[in-house]
């Protein structure tokens, strides 16, 4: 039996998932539920084999190797492992430029309203 990891969802990843479901539910509530289930089911694979995901190519090109992803077309579940914990960091639409999304998130931290 393989070792079990603890999978923790960052608030940003939870927000990403909620935004995906909110967007899809307008067109098809049943499809929104299927998408939610598929993303959660795929992420649950991380409990036993977090190394199965590929290194995020855009980050690998920059020499950043600790971030991995699982693909649920068209979404990318990005995560990193630390010891026996797996941190799901983002669920991104693969049709968007991931570098722009990550840069935007680094420049405008969560809760940022544009005012100082």
Give the chain's domains with CATH numbers: 6-107 (3.30.2310.20)
Q: Percentage of the chain with pLDDT > 70?
A: 89
Phi-psi region of 70 (alpha: psi -120 to 50; beta: other; left: phi over 0): beta
- What sign does the dihedral 103-92-97-87 (CA atoms) show? positive
41-50, 87-96, 100-109: segment of lowest average pLDDT: 100-109
Pairing relation of β-strands 54-55 and 85-93?
unpaired
Provide the β-strand partners of residue 54: 69
pTM of the prediction? Answer: 0.84
Residues 9-20: what's their mean pLDDT?
94
Q: Cβ contacts of residue 102 below 8 Å, gap of 6+?
A: 58, 90
């Amino acid at each position: 039996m393989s070792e079990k990891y603890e999978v923790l969802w960052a608030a940003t990843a939870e927000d990403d998932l909620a935004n995906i479901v909110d967007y899809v539910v307008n067109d098809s509530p049943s499809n929104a539920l299927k998408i939610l289930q598929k993303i959660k089911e795929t992420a649950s694979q991380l409990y036993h084999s977090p190394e199965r995901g590929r290194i995020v190519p855009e980050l690998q090109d920059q020499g950043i190797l600790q971030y991995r992803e699982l693909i649920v077309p068209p979404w990318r579940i990005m995560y990193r492992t630390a010891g026996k914990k797996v941190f799901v960091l983002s669920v991104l639409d693969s049709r968007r430029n991931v570098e722009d999304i990550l840069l935007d998130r680094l420049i405008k931290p969560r809760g940022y309203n544009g005012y100082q």
